[in-house]
């Protein structure tokens, strides 16, 4: 009885060219292509720093030209700028890049400001670009990070 069970386990339904349960003949299995792992972006698929810098500048100018700093409106402006930049950068269709946008608006009152950033990433694939807009009453700094997803 044990020998019969082993024979049944080795058999596969439809292996003899019979029709399967769905009524269609079973085709011979084709070997699968080896998986494709993309560890680096292709030649034309790297982070497009100059195009993104242009997007940042035009978006900030569209939103902030002619405006005076207002603390009640600054939070809304930051969200609008960050979302617009992110959407325009995603339209560049840089495959496998995670896009992060940070925008900061400060009031110009004569005081200085120092900012720092630290990231742990692959310098061959990941990058960032930022630019600033300022007028008499406000200072806006927007930065876009592109992190390649392995």
Domain count for the chain, please give it. 1
Residue 110 confidence (pLDDT): 84
First to last CA, the chain: 51
Q: What is the CATH number of the domain that holds 100?
A: 3.30.1140.40
- The C-alpha angle with vertex 123 and arms to 121 and 125, in degrees rounded to 5, equals 90
Whether the per-residue pLDDT at 123 is higher than 80: the answer is yes
Predicted TM-score (pTM) of this structure: 0.73
Query: How many Å apart are CA 150 and CA 148, to the nearest integer?
Result: 6
Q: Which domain holds residue 61?
A: 49-109+120-148
What six digits make up the tokens of 85? 């930049």
Q: What is the pLDDT of residues 28-43, one digit of tens each?
A: 788 888 777 778 888 7
Query: How many Å apart are CA 26 and CA 136, to the nearest integer?
Result: 75
What six digits make up the tokens of 127? 């990058």
């Amino acid at each position: 009885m044990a020998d019969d069970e082993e024979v049944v386990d080795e058999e596969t339904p439809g292996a003899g060219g019979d029709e399967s349960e769905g009524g269609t003949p079973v085709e011979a299995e084709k070997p699968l292509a080896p998986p494709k792992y993309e560890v680096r972006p292709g030649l034309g698929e790297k982070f497009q720093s100059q195009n993104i810098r242009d997007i940042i500048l035009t978006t900030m100018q569209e939103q902030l030209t002619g405006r005076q700093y207002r603390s009640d409106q600054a939070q809304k402006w930051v969200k609008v700028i960050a979302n617009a930049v992110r959407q325009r950068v995603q339209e560049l269709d840089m495959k496998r890049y995670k896009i992060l946008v940070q925008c900061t608006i400060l009031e110009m009152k004569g005081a200085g400001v120092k900012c720092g950033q630290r990231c742990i990433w692959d310098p061959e694939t990941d990058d960032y670009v930022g630019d600033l807009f300022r007028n008499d009453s406000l200072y806006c700094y927007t930065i876009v990070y592109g992190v390649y997803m392995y």
